[in-house]
């Protein structure tokens, strides 16, 4: 079964469980609204690709890990869009959850999705309880405090920002989770997969800065110039467009070089290259040359 099909099926199954029984109907609907149709599903695709490169000997675990990671990501988008953060009217070309429903339901949708992410992983503990709890720990570590995406967002309320910690937690954390959870799901140790995730995260940060600076609101489906508006650090502001593009190429070359030795190493390198071309519409297609 193609990766895309496995990811969508695992997410849909988890959302359906969250909507079962005598659940409040609008919140149940909002769970689906917040997670489908998805964006590029980049994080679970990376996770699955790493799991496959490591042998993917227990697809139930990698399916669950991919769904949990993407659902955590969707939860963070719902909360990030809230009026007290980005106050975004649009997400993926449709109204944000608090616009389509209401602010209380957007808070609850995020909360319920965070909880669901951990429930998904606990449910596959009967396959391998050790790997399941390692997956839960990895996801928690990259999502919460002190070094997950909550920490990343929290830096934006500080007067003085630790830039390295900010970037690593804000953008890098869920990519580190992607590579490490892929390895864990397939029974490999996660340490040597840290660098690949961190580098992909850095690449996304720079790519996001480039898109933010260059594209207009219509193409992107969300307001542009948000980073500048809030005075956040930005690679384009720091290096200029050409400098940022050069940095991006460096980071991606390093990412591919960092892939640990494993059965599916060559194929994984191709996947990273493909994802890179997909996320960087501002660059010529063959940017790795």
Q: Which residues bind a copy of itself (CB under 8 A)?
A: 17-28, 31, 75, 79, 82, 84-85, 101-105, 107-108, 110-112, 114-116, 118-119, 121-123, 125, 129-130, 132-133, 136-137, 140-141, 143-148, 150-151, 153-158, 162, 164-165
Minimum CB distance to a copy of itself smaller for 144 or for 223: 144
CA 272/CA 5 separation, integer angstroms: 19
Nearest-approach distance from CB 50 to a copy of itself, in angstroms: 20
CA 206/CA 234 separation, integer angstroms: 8
| Spatial contact of 152 and 171, defined as CB atoms under 8 Å apart | yes
Minimum CB distance to a copy of itself smaller for 148 or for 182: 148
Residues β-bridged to residue 95:
90
Nearest-approach distance from CB 139 to a copy of itself, in angstroms: 8
Residues 6+ apart with CB under 8 A from 176: 142, 194, 197, 198, 201
Nearest-approach distance from CB 237 to a copy of itself, in angstroms: 22
CA 188/CA 54 separation, integer angstroms: 7
Nearest-approach distance from CB 9 to a copy of itself, in angstroms: 19
CA 287/CA 276 separation, integer angstroms: 9
- Residue 189: closest CA among 229, 136, 134: 134
Nearest-approach distance from CB 106 to a copy of itself, in angstroms: 8
Which tokens sit at 248?
Answer: 């991006």
Question: Is the Cα dihedral 112, 19, 85, 248 positive or negative?
Answer: positive
Minimum CB distance to a copy of itself smaller for 29 or for 228: 29
Minimum CB distance to a copy of itself smaller for 111 or for 265: 111
Nearest-approach distance from CB 234 to a copy of itself, in angstroms: 19
CA-based R_g, the chain, Å:
18
Nearest-approach distance from CB 288 to a copy of itself, in angstroms: 32
Minimum CB distance to a copy of itself smaller for 4 or for 111: 111
Minimum CB distance to a copy of itself smaller for 9 or for 16: 16
Residues 6+ apart with CB under 8 A from 235: 205, 206, 209, 210, 243, 244, 247
Q: How far is CA 286 from CA 205, 248, 277, in A?
A: 20, 13, 7
Minimum CB distance to a copy of itself smaller for 134 or for 268: 134
């Amino acid at each position: 079964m193609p990766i895309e099909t496995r990811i969508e099926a695992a997410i849909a199954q988890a959302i359906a469980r969250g909507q079962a029984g005598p659940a409040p109907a609008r919140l149940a609907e909002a769970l689906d609204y917040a997670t489908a149709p998805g964006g590029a599903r980049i994080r679970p695709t990376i996770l699955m690709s790493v799991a496959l490169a490591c042998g993917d000997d227990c697809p139930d675990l990698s399916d669950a890990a991919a769904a949990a990671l993407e659902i955590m990501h969707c939860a963070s988008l719902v909360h990030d869009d809230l009026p007290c953060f980005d106050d975004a009217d649009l997400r993926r070309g449709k109204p944000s959850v608090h616009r389509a429903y209401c602010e209380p339901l957007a808070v609850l949708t995020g909360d319920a999705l965070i909880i669901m992410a951990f429930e998904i992983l606990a449910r596959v503990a009967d396959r391998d309880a050790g790997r399941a709890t390692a997956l839960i720990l990895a996801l928690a570590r990259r999502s919460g405090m002190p070094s997950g995406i909550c920490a990343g967002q929290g830096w934006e309320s500080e007067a003085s920002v630790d830039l390295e910690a900010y970037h690593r937690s804000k953008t890098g954390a869920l990519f580190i989770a992607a590579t490490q959870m892929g390895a864990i799901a397939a029974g490999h140790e996660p340490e040597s997969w840290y660098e690949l995730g961190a580098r992909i995260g850095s690449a996304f940060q720079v790519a996001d800065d480039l898109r933010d600076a260059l594209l207009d609101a219509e193409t992107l489906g969300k307001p542009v110039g948000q980073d500048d508006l809030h005075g956040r650090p930005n690679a384009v502001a720091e290096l200029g467009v050409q400098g940022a593009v050069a940095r991006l190429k460096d980071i991606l070359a390093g990412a591919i070089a960092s892939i640990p030795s494993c059965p599916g190493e060559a194929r994984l390198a191709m996947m990273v290259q493909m994802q890179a071309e997909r996320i960087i519409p501002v660059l010529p297609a063959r940017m790795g040359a």
